Structure 1
Amino acid sequence: MDFRKHILIVEDEPHIANLYREFIEEFDYQTSICLDGEQALSLFTTNPTNFDLVLTDQTMPNISGNELSSQLLKVAPSVPIIMCTGHSTENDKKTAIDIGIKHYLVKPVNLPDLVTVIDNLLKD
């Protein structure tokens, strides 16, 4: 049986999603990628216990990272969410934290820092 932690990566730019996946999997995490928020919401709500953490982009077509996060937290209030954004203001960060997002990162994301954040959020 596979006991690795499972991370849902939600990123509308495939090359960035794959970059995250390749780096994160080097640290023995399992990953799934969704290229839009609607797909992620559908996958997550089908079986929320499959995922230990969500890594999402903020700016995506159809559903923003904030809206996606709000919906995911209604289904699984304890799931840690990391928001990545290409633009940052204190107001954006405050909104993310108010939603319940656990960590906020500005792109380009430093990959070793990302894994440190993931490790810290998934400590047992």
Structure 2
Amino acid sequence: MSEATGDQPCVFCRIVDGEIPADVVHSDDDVVAFRDSSPKAEVHVLVVPRAHVTDVTDLVDDPALLAALVRTAGEVAEDFADGDFRLVFNTGAGAGQTVFHAHAHVLAGRGAAAVGL
């Protein structure tokens, strides 16, 4: 399931595999959602595919997985906020992506509108 980058799997693959603890709020066969360790809003949850995919543009070949990410984001917002949320994908280092495993930032509640990721 994990993909190595050098000699180490990426941090999100290690979270998905249970090697690194995280505050998981949703888990199913396709995606895992967990609270961001450095939240930028009242609700800041990352939704990641279980399969290692470098960024959101790679999900064009798997629209069902992209739909699962978006569906989970909506469920997280319903569960932890009022249902209103921002969904942010950073793609590439120049856009702020620091972990090269596709992930969506679900931002809701206080501070969500002002977050620049």
TM-score (norm 2): 0.31
Which of the two has greater helix per residue? 1
Higher strand share: 2
